[in-house]
Structures are given as structure tokens and as C-alpha cells.
């Protein structure tokens, strides 16, 4: 089955801890002017939490949708400093959950990730569940175990009826630009990991898991976006640094349109 042609393509820009609210607004304005409305491509940007509400009033959701970079799994309560998915409901359409920086800097484990995935779905927000191995885990041949464990752990409260509300992003920690010894993942390496992800989804959910979108994230830029987008089973990209540079992000979006 050619997943790439059957599914929508997703291009997600994760702005991380960059841009003030004003800078984010200016960037979004320029991005909206620079791109048409693509029917088969969902362009998604994930600003910092403080910028989400004002940008939600500015964005044209026919062209671009908003994602949260994080959220808390409880809907309300005494949790100083947190933002719940219930508070994000109506502001964002997507949420990045389990990003490697949340896992390895903020020590979020699979149980926390699982709770956040469930909370996002409960609040009508599509979770983009990030999974991927570290350089050490890859060196010791643990890639398959990590992928299976993070995937099954993050989805452990998602039933067959809700799996179509989830997006998976394969993000090998050793390939992201913020890693100390980052190196580019080859298309063959991505293909092997995505094949395992799809097999695991089918094992967990049967036919219902076959058409879950799978994205790749790992130092994606305009020069390699096309190669990653043509990997069998890849339905889009999670973009970091290049999503902060307007010309590069637009180039990646246009590449996605060409290779569909």
C-alpha cells in the first residue's frame, strides 16, 4: 500500500523556545502571505504557549493550523505553571506530545506521555506523538525495543475507535539538530524505523492502525525534505530550525506539494 499517496501530508513547524509574541505574529503574517491554500497538505506551526491565543485570532485556518508544544493531562486544579488541554481546546488543532526534549530534558516518561495523549484526544485536539531512540540506544541495538515501548506506552489509553485521531512522529534523538553529535538520518534508516512503527501499529490495532499518519523529524531542511517525504510510509515532516526561517519553511512546504 502506498501510504504517501493515500493520506494527507503534514508539515509541522516546531518553533520551540523562539520568537516573542510580536515576532511570532509578524512571521505568521508573512507565512500566510507566502503560501496558497493547499487542499492535501496540512501546514501546522507550534509557537510557544504564550503566543497561541493571540495567533489563534490572526491565523487563517484554511491555510495554517496551530499546535501546542505541550500541555498538562489534568483539565484543571492546583498545578501552578501548567496549561491544560481543556484550556487549549478551541485555540489549537494539534499538540506535540512526547518530544525528545520533553522526555530527556524534562524527564517525561511513557506514563506521563500516555496521560497527555489521552487528555488531548478527550479535548478534541490531535496529538502528534513523538518517539525515537538516542544515539546510545541505537549503538547498542535497542532501536526496535525503544520504538515499540514508546509507541505502545504512549498509546496505551487509546482504543481502536480513537487511533485515527493520532499522528506519530519518528524523531531519532541522534538526528535532531540540537543533539551534540547530530548526524543526518539516511532515507533507508528512516524507512526501517517507519516500517517497524507501522508493523507495531498494525499489531496493536489491526486494520485500524494501518492508516495512522507517520511523520519524520530530524534536522529536516529544504535540501533533504524531498528525500524524506518519498520514504514509503512517511506522510509528512516535523521541522525544527528550518521552520524559523520563512524561505526555508516555504520551500519545504512547496517540496511537499511537488512530491505528493
Q: Which residue has the cell 520504538?
A: 147
Q: Which residue has the cell 507550534?
A: 46
Question: Is-contact 169 215, C-beta < 8 A?
Answer: yes
* Active-site residue identified among 99, 101, 133, 254: 99
- Residues recorded for the chain: 260
Question: Is-contact 17 48, C-beta < 8 A?
Answer: yes
* 62 in active site: no
Cell of 123: 479535548
* 171 in active site: yes
* Active-site residue identified among 108, 133, 137, 171: 171
Instruction: Give the burial string for 7-43 (b: 16+ CB within 10 Å, else e).
Output: bebbbbbbbbeebeeeebbebbeebeeebeebeebbb
Which residues are known catalytic residues? 99, 171
Amino acid at each position: 500500500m502506498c501510504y504517501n499517496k493515500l493520506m494527507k501530508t503534514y508539515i509541522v513547524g516546531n518553533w520551540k523556545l523562539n520568537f516573542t509574541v510580536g515576532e511570532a505574529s509578524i512571521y505568521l503574517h508573512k507565512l500566510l502571505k507566502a503560501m496558497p491554500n493547499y487542499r492535501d497538505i496540512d501546514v501546522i506551526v507550534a509557537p510557544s504557549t504564550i503566543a497561541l491565543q493571540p495567533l489563534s485570532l490572526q491565523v487563517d485556518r484554511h491555510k495554517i493550523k496551530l499546535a501546542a508544544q505541550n500541555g498538562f493531562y489534568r483539565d484543571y486544579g492546583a498545578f501552578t505553571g501548567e496549561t491544560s488541554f481543556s484550556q487549549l481546546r478551541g485555540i489549537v488543532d494539534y499538540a506535540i506530545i512526547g518530544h525528545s526534549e520533553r522526555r530527556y530534558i524534562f524527564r517525561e516518561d511513557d506514563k506521563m506521555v500516555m496521560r497527555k495523549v489521552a487528555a488531548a484526544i478527550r479535548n478534541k485536539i490531535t496529538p502528534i506523538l513523538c518517539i525515537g531512540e538516542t544515539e546510545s540506544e541505537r549503538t547498542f541495538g535497542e532501536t526496535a525495543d525503544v520504538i515499540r515501548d514508546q509507541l505502545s506506552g504512549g498509546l496505551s489509553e487509546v482504543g481502536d475507535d480513537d487511533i485515527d485521531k493520532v499522528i506519530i512522529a519518528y524523531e531519532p534523538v541522534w538526528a535532531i539538530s540540537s543533539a551534540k553529535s547530530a548526524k543526518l538520518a539516511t532515507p533507508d534508516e528512516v524507512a526501517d524505523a517507519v516500517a517497524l512503527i507501522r508493523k507495531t501499529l498494525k499489531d496493536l490495532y489491526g486494520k485500524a492502525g494501518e492508516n495512522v499518519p507517520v511523520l519524520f523529524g530530524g534536522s529536516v531542511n529544504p535540501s533533504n525534505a524531498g528525500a524524506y517525504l518519498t520514504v514509503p510510509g512517511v506522510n509528512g515532516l516535523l521541522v525544527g530550525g528550518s521552520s524559523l526561517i520563512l524561505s526555508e519553511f516555504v520551500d519545504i512546504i512547496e517540496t511537499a506539494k511537488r512530491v505528493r
